[in-house]
Structure 1
């Protein structure tokens, strides 16, 4: 399966063929990659801001001009675009094993925000340059209209003026949106490195029409897709199209028909337990329409969640694109932008604090512009290790292999399900690690990390890993509830047999592994009872 994710398959125009995506040679490819969030459409949380005064491009731009002056602000944005994504970012993404990148952009990067249609050539030049790097290093690039004219979401993420998706209600915004896709098709119709056109990111958020039905906005969304696709196909009949549903790209209502033979059904998943059930609705839809799936935005979670969610997606033939490649804040992106000295002082102004002096602000922002270069960021190799399940990753005990299935990947001897609706048809028992109320650790915390896998006599679970080298080992973290014997096997070969005494403390069982490009690790219990918390590859 993993040969389908290899960058050697990045060649020629991507096409939808049944429920698969194929390259120019007709080989199936499963997309793996990251989104370049914050580069061409800024989001406040990636600057560590959590207030509405500094949450979207137009407001961030206004604040920087206020505190640093217009001349500085103008050159700040040129330096920001030049530094935030460079050739080195794309090289590193390819080096780490990914095969694609999503380029989110706001319409004001490419068009003047004034009456009529006027293009910004410096904005297109940024995309052109990035595409050249993608071609050099072998990454398909998806053009993602993350912020359409007027806004398509009605939130900070689309740079809307008043948190309403005016793309669907204002004639000027609508016309600009259609013309923008026509122009993108004209400019990029011959560039095969462009993997596809992502027509609208996360259109029509929930809660827009309090007390009213929002069906008319969804109807307008469908109409926009129809007109945008028609405009593109007048010029470009080769590129793959990406269509998203409403409500954060999770609602499937718009997929009542095929919009184009060469398209993917694009969906997003964040705050969910990472089991097959989160994919089932989309798999059924893919089968019904005979069109491929793309998990085009996901992430912002614990690394163990990554280690469950994305290998499972690949086993189901679903490509994915994580969000985002770099940011300030949590270490769950490959790179963290280091906070400049005085950054809290700068952000305090956006929350009602005193305004720093012009010179002080420039000093803070100059350091920020240097820090955003990837070579100056803090790298987190454990993130990619988790995505690909290579050394440095940790898998929850509950996230054993789904395939080939019962009797091979897991014992499946139980008849009951579970109250968590998590993998409850596998015949395996999940138990809570703690019976105490659990506080959500972050906004997308689904509570799944409070679950452990119970194994008793004759039960087993298998965990797949990649890239095992000499000296690597696997370590189980578990609680032994009744005296047990635990056996660890690698591809059928016994690696360790450990007898455990009962207790309430977390204990560890380790086994040295043989080198292997890909390997299956079986954990089996012969007598007794354990609660398996995690399986780590180090």
Structure 2
């Protein structure tokens, strides 16, 4: 995977929204002509192209686009797309709702977004979508009735009856030229192929819902995909799911731009506790049907299976257990969140494969490719460790996610917009989701694409001048900074690695800071022994007055040492500051600073202080420490 000069990128983008679009135009104009993509296939534990060359798929998910997830849009209380639509329908007509969603889909992901992903060196996009995009607008109106009355079982029964009728009369997914789902897929395939990128088709919200989490699968009732029967006793949602993949296969069976079919995203809680089997029997039966349906059309695309428990557990889903005659071109998926990256860590269940060791062992035992379809939602330290561990084993991965409102873990950050339930909020949302309005999370990109030992400047910093505390260098824990809790490796431990979860995505705790002048943020919750590094250029040798904007909410004095290339140049004693005027400026003289490029380090001797900025001013006379 190619990488770029992130310091140069930082200078180009810093403080200039329009330059982001310019950057993509430059990449697009200067990029090589797209190569011809070839159909991928499985060869033992590898994915290879038509010439037998191994292809390791590394890329980004474009979640939140063709299925809205509440946390991506900061509408957490609404909990799912159906509930968002239900809220909108209180003040909008069905037509107004459809028009809003058409506008949303037209702006959330565009060719400019895909070009930017390609410019970072990624070679694939996973496309999560909702099955309702393959319904006609008239058919979606029937689903809207359930969104309007989510607690009315009769409304849901009526919708299922409509689906059954459309299924029996062959009125589902038939108008490929006009249905929104096919149109969007075709656009994405075109955009990606132009940049030599593959696309993974992901049925993220399956008919009926594949689990409990309606934010993920937008279900009206949990597990209805596995349980709901129609008047004829058929598992109607499963029949509809098979029909959808038959239609997708019929359209794309010979299209090499499609890397894989991801049949069903993250089935979960399909177990005896919820009235189903405890050995994945239902999942195995449906996967067997889906594989058979696709292969019946002579479609040899790679098919991606996702295990129970959010995509990871494969008891009775191994190749020998599936009721199929053709076992070629099957890939097994893992979704890696909040787990160790230690290559020696193992799960005692060999069919639970989210740990790297288990992934490798599963691939070796069954001689099938494995792929991490989702990974992310953690700190940069975790991202870098995950990527380096997976890359070392030639296991591909797809980061979650491209965009997120006020998100520090995504590739692009969407600015806050207010409420989706108000006209003003929707107008702002439709503006802010556009690529030209988004801010790249450069630290995330560097963590995913940079070398393991890289440390690069986050901003161009000079002495004399002001150094904002949060503009420390990019790099891993122990290289760019030192923080006691820099990654989340236990899904049960929900404490954020960044207490403020703003501005940057490292273990360093950052808070919004309204104090003026500042860049709007400050480093906080600094423990003894922690430190941050800054790459600085001293333009003129000499002594300086070092000023620091600090506060201390604790009862004990805090102490910070400032070093240049490991040599202490000044110590900041930070007394307790009153709540009425928490921020104060303290000043100390420095030792003589040599000219040139150096590493400036802020080291925490005694905890308690928060830091907004450091400022270096030329000095010819000693300065005593004081506050203001």
TM-score by length of 2: 0.59
Give distance in 2, aligned partners of 1:176 and 1:196: 20
TM-fit CA distance, 1:480: 8.6
1:294-318 CA distance string (max 9 Å, x none): 0111101111111111121011110
Q: Which runs of 5+ in 2 are unaligned?
A: 4-31, 144-162, 230-234, 346-354, 459-473, 487-491, 500-505, 509-526, 531-558, 567-628
Mapped partners of 2:496, 2:375: distance in 1: 15
Offset at residue 389 of structure 1 (A): 1.7
Q: Distance in 2 between matches of 1:38 and 1:15?
A: 29
Q: 2:217 aligns with which of 145, 158, 162?
A: 158
Partner of 2:182, secondary structure, is helix
Instruction: Work out the CA distance in 2 between the residues paired with 1:297 and 1:334.
Output: 14
Partner residue, 1:135: 193
Are positions 1:315 and 2:315 aligned together? Answer: no
Aligned to 2:76: 50
CA distance in 1, matches of 2:120, 2:107: 20
1:125 is matched with which residue?
A: 183
- 1:313 alignment partner, SS class: helix
Q: Which of residues 43, 47, 54 is equivalent to 1:17?
A: 43
Q: Is the 8 A contact 1:103 1:142 kept in 2?
A: yes
Alignment correspondent of 2:334: 267
Write out aligned runs for 1:26-105 (5 A): 26-51=52-77, 54-105=78-129
2:210 and 2:224 in contact (8 A); partners too:
yes
Q: Aligned partners of 2:484 and 2:98: how far apart in 1?
A: 54
Distance in 1 between the 2:252 and 2:282 partners? Answer: 27
Q: CA 1:444–1:339 in structure 2 vs 1: closer, same or farther (change >3 Å)? A: closer
Shift of 1:479: 9.1
Change (3 A) 1:10 1:329: farther
Report the alpha carbon displacement of residue 74 of structure 1 after superposing the two structures with TM: 2.0
**Number of residue pairs matched by the alignment:** 406
Match of 1:417 in 2: none
Give secondary structure in 1 for the equivalent of 2:310: helix
How far apart are residue 7 of structure 1 and its match? 11
Q: After TM superposition, give the deviation of residue 166 of structure 1 in Å.
A: 2.5
> Contact conserved, 1:11 with 1:24, CA < 8 A, in 2?
no
Residue 376 of structure 2 is aligned to residue 299 of structure 1: yes
Alpha-carbon distance between aligned partners in 2 of 1:43 and 1:443, rounded to the nearest angstrom:
23
Q: What pairs up with 1:277-288 in 2 under 5 angstroms?
A: 277=345, 278-288=355-365
Does the aligned pair in 2 maintain the 1:154–1:204 contact within 8 Å? Answer: yes
Structure 2: distance between partners of 1:384 and 1:376: 18
| Equivalent position of 1:423 in the other structure | none
For 2:80 and 2:254, the matched residues in 1 are separated by 33
Question: Where does 1:358-369 land on structure 2 (aligned, <5 Å)?
Answer: 361-369=422-430
1:85-125 CA distances to partner (integer Å, 9 max, x unpaired)? 11111111101110000001111111346332322622211
Compared CA separation, residues 131 and 295, structure 1 to 2 (3 A) = same
Indicate conservation of the 8 Å contact 2:498/2:507, yes or no: no
- Say whether residues 1:240 and 2:302 are aligned partners: yes
Return the offset for 1:444: 12
CA RMSD of aligned residues (A): 3.4
Partner in structure 1 of residue 476 of structure 2: 395
- Secondary structure at the residue paired with 1:396? coil
Aligned partners of 1:7 and 1:49: how far apart in 2?
41
Structure 1 residues without counterparts, runs of 5 or longer: 348-360, 400-429, 452-477, 482-503, 512-538
Q: Is the 8 A contact 1:479 1:507 kept in 2?
A: no
Stretch moving more, 148-157 or 6-15? 6-15
The separation in 2 between residues aligned to 1:180 and 1:322, in whole angstroms, is: 26
